[in-house]
Amino acid sequence: MFQLKGKRVLVTGAASGIGLAIAELFAAHKASVFVLDLDAQKASEAAQSIADKTGADAIGIGCDVSQPESVTAAFMQAGSGLDILVNCAGIAHVGNLASTTPADMDRLYAVNVRGTYLCMQAALKPMLAAKSGVILNMASIAATAGLSDRFAYSMTKGAVLSMTLSVAKDYISQGIRCNCISPARVHTPFVDGFLAKNYPGQEAEKMKALAQSQPIGRMGTPAEIAILALYLCSDEASFLTGVDYPIDGGFFNLR
């Protein structure tokens, strides 16, 4: 079950965190993986590491998902016959309505919304030609829950959810499935960097507070998100489309 042999997969934001975990797991299940990241060097290093660990084909490609020319070039480098697109590239922001600037809004929109749109659009042509394909987007519990100081970020993840449903509806008859995952807090390098920058000397205390915001008492791991992604992108999930999957440690129902 869940084997992806012969599948060509493109993962954005795949040099670290959730994207990297997904790329590694998909490669371990026999997929050929294209590792896209803003940092071309890190993308190449991640791809080499994946190839060494799994023996699968993995190619690193530098790509700024917010720029149409960069996305077009990256997808051309990946070539035709794309079977699966996983949109993980994204950036975060802390701030409420009063503190969020127009520049903040534009920056978050450019990567999280425009980037997801551009990559889905680039993947559409080969999927339509094949009359099959899977798109998986990374949303967040912020798309449907009111979170403190996440005004701009919540806006973008709400858009990702809405775009997911729209694409699922428009292309269901052409054999394309589109779903999204909405994680609660996940322990990634971003979290460590955020705490070190904003709470020097208080990292352990703040990490505990973040963990306890999920009823299960901890943050999720990138590997746990990757396992759900593997299922949703596999043929075993062929009856699933237009779904937002929470993976939240009980956040919604057990608080």
The pLDDT tens digits of the residues spanning 32-53 come to 999 999 999 999 999 999 999 9
SS3 state of residue 118: helix
Q: Quick one: 206 exposed, middle or buried, by C-beta within 10 A (0-12, 13-18, 19+)?
A: middle
DSSP classification of residue 109 = I
| 208-221 per-position pLDDT tens digit | 998 998 999 999 99
Q: Which residue pairs from 124-132 have beta carbons closer than 8 angstroms and sit at least 24 positions apart in sequence?
A: 124/171, 124/176, 126/80, 126/81, 126/82, 127/82, 127/83, 127/171, 127/174, 127/175, 127/176, 128/171, 128/174, 128/176, 129/80, 130/81, 130/83, 130/175, 131/174, 131/175, 132/83, 132/175, 132/176
- Residue given tokens 């806006």 in the structure block: 155
Give pLDDT, residue 255.
82
Options 117, 153, 171, 245, the catalytic residue = 153
Residue 171 designated active-site: no
pTM for the structure as a whole: 0.95
Mean pLDDT (the chain, rounded): 96
CATH 1.10.287.470 fits 8-184+221-246, yes or no: no
Domain with CATH 3.40.50.720 in the chain: 8-184+221-246
Q: What is the pLDDT of residue 193?
A: 86
Neighbours of 205 (CB within 10 A): 10
Tokens 């005004």 correspond to 151
At residue 195 the predicted structure's pLDDT band, cuts being 50, 70 and 90, is confident
